[in-house]
Amino acid sequence: MVKKSLLMFLVITVLATGAYGGGLALSGVGSKAIGMGGAFRGLADNWSAAYWNPAGLAQLSQSEFNFMGIAINPVPQYTPEFRYSGYEVGYINGSPRYPKEQTHMAPNLSGFYKISSREDITFGVAMFVPYALGSSWDLFRPNYSDMAGEFPQWNHEADLQVIDIHPSIAKSLMDGKLMLGAGMSIMRGHIEYRKTILNPTTLPRPHDNLAVDAYLEGEGWGYGANFGMLYKLNDKLQIGISGKTPTTLDLEGDVRNTLYTIDNEDLRDISYGSAANAADSALVRYIFSPDPRNWTNDASAELKLPADAGFGIVYKASEKLLMTMDFSYTMWSALDTITVSLEQSTSAGAPLGGTDSAMVIRTEWENTLRFSLGSQYQVSDPLALRFGFYYDPSPIPDETFSPLFMDIGTKYSANLGAALKVSTWELGYNFEYIYFDSRDIAEDIDVGREVDNYPGSFKAYLIANHISITYRF
């Protein structure tokens, strides 16, 4: 029988529209904020304040729109050591594996439209992409040569993108010394995911595990909010506090499955001879087919995105130099499990006996504390130079780690950037380098056990180039 937990490893990752941050999150939003390492909660002086600290929107006198083109070159490497009780099951062990594409070109359009401003109140709508990660890997080759059909080369793939439509309001108090703000997240998420699942049988090796190619696609909505405060201590110091609520994306879609059966008439006849009853004979007919078996299940799931809270400080060292520092705490432990519901398949090729109606996927992510530093030096009235750094631990423990996540280990990011103002336009460039701590997972997988991680060695670094155009009106 086809193993019932066909989605037991539903992980949500995606093709990036920004450089990779922690968990499912990007490094941040907005070229200026990213260029300053995300140390932006205490400054929050452009449209991206809607993401970092909505109180900062009270500082805006105009609407702002931003287009950013990003060239991302991630260089992850995974060397599998994936076995069941010490024997090979089809993973390409001992050989370094790399994702399908090494460079991602991604446009990103975002901004803040200021609808009104009166009595020190600012209201508007921003749009940005807060979550986006992804990769495609060739990790598996079925180890039974009499397999029916052709197994896909890129057999472990994932893509997720979340767009946040973000109406926000901010108010300035105490003659501009205190600013308060809040926003609402209206999130739309789209997921695509592919993974190989091994279906155990009672046949001897190498037919004791048959390969199932499981492909999930779904989309849905989620809602949340964020809030913030800015306070000017004096002419040189300003502090900011901000946070956001957790958000649950309710996802609807389907799972398309392909079981790669055995095209071996001699072994089929032997198995028929061993069948004890009609049910056993039906199972033999199902497994021994000259063509792969295909079926589809309707599916639904909840993806819990985390709450966070952060504190930032800005020091105006001189008329030209700003220095910023930021701490943020992200509660990734909300993503402890993912519950997936499956509708009974009505496909002609569905497995005998159907599939589970619900399942729980173990993730067990951990909360993280990110530290960021940034600075901006105003060389002249139109030209500014920026520097940023952040330290961001991975929330994903060894016990549930997958190469489909780019979050291999603790990240150390360095950014260098510049911005040039020309009338109502601003041109920006930012270079980002992220180094990931390596990770080694040594764990033998027992036969029949639900797989929660991928044993082997992981390492990565990433280079990203950002070119941005900002228009203010």
* Separation between Cα atoms, residue 218 and residue 335, nearest integer Å: 18
pLDDT at residue 29, as a whole number: 86
User: Per residue in 395-414, pLDDT tens?
Assistant: 998 888 888 877 889 999 99
Quick check: helix, strand or coil at residue 393? coil
pLDDT at residue 40, as a whole number: 97
Q: Strands, E, within 138-276: which ranges?
A: 156-173, 178-200, 209-232, 237-244, 247-259
Average pLDDT on 109-126 reads: 83
pLDDT at residue 103, as a whole number: 60
- Categorize the per-residue pLDDT at 447 as very low, low, confident or very high, splitting at 50, 70 and 90: very low
Share of the chain above pLDDT 90, in %: 55
pLDDT at residue 148, as a whole number: 94
* Separation between Cα atoms, residue 40 and residue 33, nearest integer Å: 6
pLDDT at residue 107, as a whole number: 63
Given a cut of 50, is residue 250 above it in pLDDT?
yes
Output the six-digit token pair for 226. 């964020």
Of the listed ranges 115-124, 347-356, 422-431, the least confidently predicted one is 347-356
* Separation between Cα atoms, residue 366 and residue 430, nearest integer Å: 30
pLDDT at residue 278, as a whole number: 86
Q: State residue 142 phi and psi, 5-degree precision.
A: -55, 140
For the chain, domains (ranges, CATH) are 31-472 (2.40.160.60)
Of the listed ranges 50-54, 356-360, 431-435, the least confidently predicted one is 356-360
* Contact (CB, 8 A) for 196 and 258: no
pLDDT at residue 135, as a whole number: 84
Tell me the average pLDDT of the chain: 86
Residue 284: in which H helix or E strand, if any?
A: helix 278-287
User: Per residue in 24-81, pLDDT tens?
Assistant: 787 888 889 999 999 999 999 999 999 999 999 999 988 988 888 888 888 899 999 9
178-200 and 209-232 beta bridge pairing: antiparallel
pLDDT at residue 8, as a whole number: 31
Of the listed ranges 59-63, 150-154, 391-395, the least confidently predicted one is 59-63
Average pLDDT on 166-173 reads: 94
342: CB partners within 8 A, 6+ apart: 6, 7, 255, 297, 298, 299, 355, 356, 357, 358, 359
